[in-house]
Chain A
Amino acid sequence: MRPAEERIHDFKEVSLGFTKEEAVLEASRCVLCGACIKGCPVGIDIPGFIKAVQEEDFQKGIHIIKEYNLLPAICGRVCPQESQCEAECVLGKKGKAINIGALERFLADHYTDQKLPDIRETGRRAAVVGSGPGGLTAAFELRRAGFRVTVYEALHELGGVLKYGIPGFRLPDEVIDREIETLKEMGVGFLTSFLIGKTLTIDELLQENDAVLIATGAGLPGYLGIPGENGIGVLLANELLTRVNLMKAGRFPEYDTPVILGEHVVVIGGGNVAMDAARVSRRLGAEVTICYRREEKDMPARREEMEHAKEEGIDFKTLTNPVEILLDDNGRVKGMRVEKMKVTGVADDGRSRIAPTGEIFEIKTDMVVEAIGQSPNKIIRENVQGLDFDKKGRMIVDENLMTTKDKVWAAGDIVSGAATVILAMGEAKKAARAIVEKCGG
């Protein structure tokens, strides 16, 4: 782990990862009970790969993971392990759970499963829409099953949310590019700056393909709907993150894209995107406050990111709900009015139930970043005939992730709403297998 005072000045990775000795030592604590498997959305044989680490057979370890998960270098870094596999760890009941994420990352970083899968061409073709975690996973599965696969990406870079959303200090670009390179070596085709629904239609893709898989993610930011929201210095987190992560605005004017930066940034929200926005702002030189309407225990962010954010000097204001963003005569942010909330009980999902107290106060700030959630992007919804969506804009699919349109499947956040990388990957794999089965491999 790099010290906080050093890392707040750059965008390099925060966690350095295990050395071989550390990995073997951590693995040796494991009793190989297998309780963790049920916490993993893709059911990785975790004791299997930990045993391999214990025996220092690292090549075998990475091989076991890759049977279940194509992108372990990514998942080892961004999965919310503490609420998945590590939450089930028996050692965690009394002491410290095994650091499964770090072990996964260790294997993925240091040992690549060199051998590309043997591919028996079937002559079938598939189009994958979106190059985020879901799209990449589906492309791998379909290619491995002998399909000719083309991945279409709307942005100019591949990786989707892994590139534009998650900052480099959590997930370096090189890690993503390495995985994409493997897919290219396998023969997967990629087309960037292709927005399906606009540049080409799904129906056109169907003319050339046996199946289409839509994995376009969430990609439509929510906003609070409070006065002052369109002022100068109010950004939705996606804009801040895209400018900094994808367009490298932190290096303006060497890079052409700038980003607005306040001296004191207030980030609204308690999820991973809020943590990322806060820590990005900190690295750009701002004092940062995270403002969340419930209690800290209710924040959906990864615990590790919350701890890192605190170490980096980010202030957490909980039970605080924004009411109005105050603007000066030029339309620039000069402060925020917030209302103190109180806990009134426990909601069904285990989070605090809250209510307003009527106590309003002002926070002095010159920039506000809203990170209050995402819903599926509407471009597919509004440009494709024959697909059904629910009220929240999510695509309706059957148990095999097939949509209401013939030969079209969907996976990831477009189906589940804003969820996690690993869930998107799990679904994408399932959808890809359903496609292989339906098309006869």
Chain B
Amino acid sequence: MIFMRNTILSKEKLSEDVCSFIVEHPEIASHYEPGQFVIVRIHEKGERIPLTIVDADARRGTIRLVVQAVGLTSRLMNELNQGDRLLDLLGPLGEPFHLPQNAEKVLFVGGGLGIAPLYPKVKDFKYESHVILGAKDARHLILQKEMSAAAGRLELCTDDGSLGRKGFVTDCMDMLFSQGEIYDACVAIGPLVMMKAVVEKNRAKGLPTFVSLNPIMVDGTGMCGGCRFEYDGEVKFACVDGPVFDGFKVNFHDLLVRSRQYEKHECRALSHYQERQHK
């Protein structure tokens, strides 16, 4: 049913500022492979933002998107409801990611909103999965129930100790390593600083680590170069060369600097929006 494309079929609130959407788009659903993302535009004057595809159901022709209200567009998106349509939805973009064939025991590390795209990877992994999830507090730790059903072992931590251990995901990693756990690979998805810390820890152990990047993008098809960064001494575009990369080769400094490019504009866009709301 082509006329239904882009329609929000259901919406679920996962936490104070995180919503999960099931959106109809048969072509994206049937071509999706793990690791891929979409570009979304909400209204006629809106910007294009990338969102990781959390899950897809080819039979029903739907995809699942999880959105945390941080910037203007993600806030506007979370105000949408069942029956509303996304103005533009492009995908599936980026290269698919599959864990190495020989990986039989994998450590999955998710931080904040990164837990959402991590979930299908845990769910689809057939062998032994250990999962560490971190968030700033209990209210921001999403998909806990789904993860505990999918994971072989689940460790939780929060910055304030309101759920699980008090501390960072790297503290949980230390704990697992000290218990003698040995992994074939690690997948880390979350804020840049978290992924950087995980990569540094694993680099010392030689544990292959894959990270999923989500930098600022415009077209998402390799045309503008806005998402470029240094990777193994070369320039890569996260949109068409990634978004999943070998963490050891990623120049996180580049990404951290570039992630702050539009900080001031983002604040201004939000305050402009709030002014309009008041009027």
Q: Is B a genuine binding partner of A?
A: yes
Residues of B within 8 A of A258 (CB): 262, 265-266, 268-269
Complex Cα distance, B46 from A156, in Å, reads 11
Interface residues on B, range: 35 or more
Report the minimum CB–CB distance from A378 to chain B (whole Å). 6
> A195–B228 contact, CB under 8 A?
no
> A236–B269 contact, CB under 8 A?
no
Residues of B within 8 A of A193 (CB): 88-90
Residues of B within 8 A of A252 (CB): 265, 268-269
B176 contacts chain A at the CB level, 8 A cutoff:
no
Q: In the complex, which residue of chain B has the Cβ closest to the Cβ of A221?
A: B225
Residues of B within 8 A of A192 (CB): 88
Residues of B within 8 A of A239 (CB): 218, 224-226
Partner-contacting stretch, out of B14-22, B153-161, B183-191, B253-261: B253-261
> Which A185-243 residues have C-beta < 8 A from chain B?
192-195, 198-201, 219-221, 223, 225, 229-232, 235-236, 238-239, 242-243
> A231–B257 contact, CB under 8 A?
yes
B121 contacts chain A at the CB level, 8 A cutoff:
no
Report the minimum CB–CB distance from B183 to chain A (whole Å). 30
> B225–A230 contact, CB under 8 A?
no
Complex Cα distance, B225 from A378, in Å, reads 13
Q: In the complex, which residue of chain A has the Cβ closest to the Cβ of B88?
A: A156
Report the minimum CB–CB distance from B52 to chain A (whole Å). 15
The winner among A199, A229, A232, A248 for most chain B CB atoms within 10 A is A199
Q: Is the interface of A mostly helix, strand, loop or mixed?
A: loop
Complex Cα distance, B93 from A195, in Å, reads 9
Complex Cα distance, B269 from A256, in Å, reads 7
Complex Cα distance, B47 from A252, in Å, reads 10
Report the minimum CB–CB distance from A389 to chain B (whole Å). 15
Knowing A200-B27, A225-B235, A230-B228, the reply to whether A242 touches B219 (Cβ < 8 A) is yes
Knowing A156-B88, A199-B91, A252-B265, the reply to whether A230 touches B235 (Cβ < 8 A) is yes
Report the minimum CB–CB distance from A125 to chain B (whole Å). 16
Q: Is the interface of B mostly helix, strand, loop or mixed?
A: mixed
The winner among A156, A231, A255 for most chain B CB atoms within 10 A is A156
B123 contacts chain A at the CB level, 8 A cutoff:
no
Residues of A within 8 A of B222 (CB): 219-220, 377-379
Q: In the complex, which residue of chain B has the Cβ closest to the Cβ of A256?
A: B47
Residues of A within 8 A of B202 (CB): none
Knowing A247-B48, A256-B46, A256-B269, the reply to whether A199 touches B225 (Cβ < 8 A) is no
Report the minimum CB–CB distance from B53 to chain A (whole Å). 12
> A199–B235 contact, CB under 8 A?
no
A396 contacts chain B at the CB level, 8 A cutoff:
no
> Which B231-279 residues have C-beta < 8 A from chain A?
235, 240, 254, 257-258, 260-262, 265-266, 268-269, 272-273
Q: In the complex, which residue of chain B has the Cβ closest to the Cβ of A201?
A: B31
The winner among A154, A164, A194 for most chain B CB atoms within 10 A is A154
Report the minimum CB–CB distance from B262 to chain A (whole Å). 6
Residues of A within 8 A of B254 (CB): 230
Complex Cα distance, B273 from A252, in Å, reads 11
> A378–B269 contact, CB under 8 A?
no
Residues of B within 8 A of A255 (CB): 45-47
Complex Cα distance, B93 from A53, in Å, reads 50
Knowing A232-B258, A252-B265, A377-B223, the reply to whether A200 touches B45 (Cβ < 8 A) is no
Residues of A within 8 A of B72 (CB): 256
Q: Mark A327-356, 1 if CB is under 8 A from B, else 0.
A: 000110000000000000000000000000
Report the minimum CB–CB distance from B69 to chain A (whole Å). 14
Residues of B within 8 A of A260 (CB): 261-262
Residues of B within 8 A of A357 (CB): none
Partner of B218, one of A154, A231, A243: A243
> A154–B257 contact, CB under 8 A?
no
Complex Cα distance, B256 from A18, in Å, reads 52
B92 contacts chain A at the CB level, 8 A cutoff:
yes
Complex Cα distance, B254 from A252, in Å, reads 26
Residues of B within 8 A of A195 (CB): 90-91, 93, 221
Residues of B within 8 A of A236 (CB): 224-226, 228
Report the minimum CB–CB distance from B154 to chain A (whole Å). 34
Complex Cα distance, B271 from A258, in Å, reads 14
Report the minimum CB–CB distance from A77 to chain B (whole Å). 22
A155 contacts chain B at the CB level, 8 A cutoff:
yes
Report the minimum CB–CB distance from A329 to chain B (whole Å). 10
Complex Cα distance, B32 from A200, in Å, reads 11
Q: Mark A287-328, 1 if CB is under 8 A from B, else 0.
A: 000000000000000000000000000000000000000000
A253 contacts chain B at the CB level, 8 A cutoff:
yes
Report the minimum CB–CB distance from B139 to chain A (whole Å). 28
B73 contacts chain A at the CB level, 8 A cutoff:
yes
> A155–B219 contact, CB under 8 A?
yes
Complex Cα distance, B224 from A260, in Å, reads 14
Known: A154-B221, A193-B90, A254-B45. 8 other contacts (CB 8 A): A194-B90, A223-B228, A236-B224, A242-B224, A243-B224, A255-B47, A258-B266, A331-B260
20 residue pairs bridging A and B, Cβ less than 8 Å apart: A155-B219, A192-B88, A193-B90, A198-B31, A198-B92, A199-B91, A223-B225, A231-B257, A232-B257, A232-B258, A239-B224, A242-B218, A243-B224, A252-B265, A252-B269, A256-B269, A258-B266, A260-B261, A331-B260, A377-B222
